[in-house]
Copies of this chain bind each other. A is one copy, B any other.
Amino acid sequence: MDKPRVGLKDVAALAGVSVKTVSNVVNGYVHVTPATRSRVEAAIKELNYRPNLSARNLRQGRTGIIALAVPELDIPYFAELARFVVTAAEERGLTVLIDQTGASREREQLVAEGFRAHLIDGLIFSPLALTPEDLAARMDDTPMVLLGERVYDGPADHVVVDNVAAAKEATLHLAATGRRRIAAIGAQDDVAAETSRLRLAGYFEALAEAGLPADDRLVQHVEDYHRADGARAMARLLDSGQAPDAVFCFNDLLALGALRTLLERGHAVPGEVALAGFDDIEDGRYATPTITTVSPDKQAIARQAVDLLAARMTKGSQAEAREIRVAYQLMIRESTGG
């Protein structure tokens, strides 16, 4: 009942063949007599042999593990994304190890630097706080694919959604429903907050195009992209005496938080205030009202990321960095009168 630690050696002994032959059977090598093969397979079964991956990996220089580094797992967007990544990786025989960076720059630096070196063959990384310099300073040569808008010139592949265009489209939709005072929730001061910057740019572009004045008092800054931040930001808007008739939230969690505040204070949505979000997480499809949102093709993001990574893992890193643009779709729902 202790640990017998069965290895090829033991199987070989039992089957009366060499270690390599057992290895050949395990790896499906063709030139093995059916007789030998079945004898070996019987022995494997009897001893309940499992290949030791550490040894195999040591020998081959690969582990078959890729890491997915995301800010937080309990942010639904990343949870949904993680699920797709795991599935896509599985189809290629890869195992996914998930790292949570907690959106801390320090943790993100660690990840980029390769603190899992030799344990992972590749990295899919969704950075939040990382600066371009951090990325440029990256020494580790583990293949890496970045998720999120391309802002770095490093040799890393990117999978992106056109944040500016998507944010613009969402804001224009609000304008098209006749709203004049369209607020934005989700601006961030941090220079590294690229997502925030791009969506804000799209928001302003839309205002200009719709002929609406840009009013800084309608732009709410937040610390994080959680429900609580959205709720507080909405409260600030309502308390400002400059109540908006529409709000574009830079993600669905912010929108759900904002919605909560609006309903709690008795404002009708979309009657009084219309609401749009970003990410299309499942929560938004079951809220009342359902939330109009930008829906990035998460499955495509995951698949493209895994494909890019797999390519770089085999072809080596000399290839040119590629950028893949993924489709999105504006889902019009009840919160804007859809």
Give A contacts to B, CB under 8 Å: 1-3, 5, 48, 50-55, 57-58, 61, 63, 65, 72-74, 76, 79-80, 82-83, 86-87, 95-98, 100, 114, 116-119, 139-141, 227, 231, 256-257, 259-260, 263-264, 282-283, 285-288, 316-318
Docked-complex contact A288 and B286, CB < 8 angstroms: no
Q: In whole angstroms, how far apart are the Cα atoms of A61 and B48 in the complex?
A: 18
Docked-complex contact B231 and A257, CB < 8 angstroms: no
A5 to B, closest residue via Cβ = B61
- Complex partner residue of A74 from B3, B52, B76, CB under 8 angstroms: B76
Q: In whole angstroms, how far apart are the Cα atoms of A52 and B95 in the complex?
A: 18
- Chain B positions within 8 Å of A263 at CB level: 288
- Chain B positions within 8 Å of A74 at CB level: 76, 79-80, 82-83, 282
Distance to closest chain B CB from A81 (angstroms): 9
Docked-complex contact A98 and B100, CB < 8 angstroms: no
Q: In whole angstroms, how far apart are the Cα atoms of A316 and B1 in the complex?
A: 10
Q: In whole angstroms, how far apart are the Cα atoms of A58 and B52 in the complex?
A: 8
- Chain B positions within 8 Å of A260 at CB level: 286-288
Docked-complex contact A54 and B118, CB < 8 angstroms: yes
- Chain B positions within 8 Å of A318 at CB level: 1
